[in-house]
């Protein structure tokens, strides 16, 4: 089973939920950290036996001894990464989506592709948990290739938990797509409610069943639960807003290891998702 953990905004506690769920299930679990711009699951998992590999995309390179500057490559590029001047071809690597169209349509066969590193994957283990972390290089614009590389490591013989990036843009969609279930995480604030509504709309359009965890729960903010009843979003778990939980998280410690009473709650959450 593949469970993605997502939210409309940052800071709601996706990683807290994803890592706590992984520790509670305990064995034969794979955690994929697809928040590649700022991954932090490793802080709580503390994996051992780490291995690293690079993530690369293909970018065009022009042999100007063959090029007649006809501009066909620039015409077919939907992302404006190629500009053909009178006697020069400019290529903007950060805009390239590695579609290969320029290579296919060049009448002089003057374009080839070469690999360009944009990030890396780190893989490690701890207590039955296999953690795969995607790390996008600083200044890179496109997270999707690194997210795809992380998801290519999915082991369908394990229970897979995906820690997605915040928001509702392309990286979040790429992370949750293909999951069996999406666990949304929010907080008891107007901002949390608004962004939850955006995330839930995205999940519905993708066609994923979803449930909600309310982190930093405040019973005084009733609008959140009213919204959930209105749209049919089940609330599966509430974690209260307590200083001791925030202190544990700020130290990079796992919730269920420090407070074992939460382990049964996350196991119950997992069973509800399975049903």
Q: What is the pLDDT of residues 177-207, one digit of tens each?
A: 999 999 999 999 999 999 999 999 999 999 9
Question: What pLDDT is recorded for position 26?
Answer: 81
147 and 228 part of one domain: yes
What the block records as the tokens of 223 is 């609008």
Higher pLDDT, 86 or 56: 56
Q: Are strands 159-163 and 29-33 parallel, antiparallel or unpaired?
A: parallel
201 and 251 part of one domain: yes
Of 109, 144, 178, the residue at which a domain comes to its end is 109
**pLDDT(10) > 90:** no
- How many Cβ atoms are within 10 Å of 263's Cβ, its own excluded? 17
127 and 184 part of one domain: yes
Query: Considering its fold, how many domains does the chain have in total?
Result: 2
| Average pLDDT over every residue of 206-233 | 94
Question: What pLDDT is recorded for position 141?
Answer: 87
98 and 227 part of one domain: no
Share of the chain above pLDDT 70, in %: 100
Question: What pLDDT is recorded for position 192?
Answer: 93
Burial call 10-37: b when 16+ CB within 10 Å, e when fewer:
eebbbbbbbbbbbbbbeeebbbbbbbbb
| Average pLDDT over every residue of 147-161 | 96
pLDDT, tens digit, 9 for 90 and up, residues 61-120: 999 999 999 999 999 999 999 999 988 999 999 999 999 999 999 999 999 999 999 999
Reading phi first (left if > 0) and then psi (alpha if -120 to 50, else beta), residue 199 is in alpha
18 and 152 part of one domain: yes
Q: What is the CATH number of the domain that holds 243?
A: 3.40.50.300
User: What's the domain range around 83?
Assistant: 64-109
90 and 192 part of one domain: no
**Among candidate residues 14, 6, 25, the one with its CA nearest the CA of residue 256:** 25
Question: What pLDDT is recorded for position 8?
Answer: 83
Q: How far is CA 38 from CA 65, 252, 273, in A?
A: 42, 15, 27
Say how far apart CA 211 and CA 273 lie, in whole Å.
8
Question: What pLDDT is recorded for position 86?
Answer: 87
With beta carbons less than 8 A apart as the criterion, state whether 172 and 184 touch.
no
Q: What is the CATH number of the domain that holds 102?
A: 3.30.70.20
84 and 214 part of one domain: no
Question: What pLDDT is recorded for position 220?
Answer: 87
pLDDT, tens digit, 9 for 90 and up, residues 134-150: 999 998 988 999 999 99
Question: What pLDDT is recorded for position 162?
Answer: 97
Average pLDDT score over the chain = 94
Give the confidence band of 27 by pLDDT, cuts at 50, 70, 90.
Answer: confident
84 and 184 part of one domain: no
């Amino acid at each position: 089973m593949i469970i993605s953990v997502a939210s409309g905004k940052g800071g709601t506690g996706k990683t807290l939920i994803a890592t706590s769920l992984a520790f509670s299930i305990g064995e034969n679990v794979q955690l994929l950290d697809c928040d590649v711009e700022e991954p932090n699951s490793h802080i709580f998992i503390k994996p051992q036996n780490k291995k690293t590999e690079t993530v690369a995309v293909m970018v065009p390179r022009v042999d100007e001894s063959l090029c007649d500057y006809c501009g066909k490559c620039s015409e077919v590029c939907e992302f404006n990464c190629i500009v053909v001047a009178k006697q020069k071809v400019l290529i903007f690597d950060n805009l390239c989506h590695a579609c290969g169209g320029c290579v296919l349509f060049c009448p002089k066969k003057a374009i080839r592709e070469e690999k360009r590193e944009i990030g890396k994957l780190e893989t490690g283990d701890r207590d039955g948990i296999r953690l795969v972390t995607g790390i996008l290089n600083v200044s890179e614009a496109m997270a999707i290739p690194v997210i795809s590389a992380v998801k290519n490591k999915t082991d369908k013989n394990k229970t897979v938990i995906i820690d997605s990036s915040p928001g509702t843009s392309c990286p979040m969609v790429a992370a949750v797509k293909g999951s069996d279930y999406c666990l949304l995480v929010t907080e008891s604030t107007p901002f949390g409610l608004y962004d939850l509504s955006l995330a839930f709309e995205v999940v519905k359009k993708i066609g994923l069943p979803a449930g909600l965890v309310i982190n930093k729960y405040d019973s005084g903010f009733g609008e959140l639960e009213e919204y959930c009843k209105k749209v049919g979003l089940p609330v599966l778990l509430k974690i209260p807003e307590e200083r001791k939980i925030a202190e544990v998280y700020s130290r990079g410690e796992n919730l269920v290891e420090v407070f074992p009473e939460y382990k049964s709650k996350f196991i119950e959450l997992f069973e509800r998702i399975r049903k």
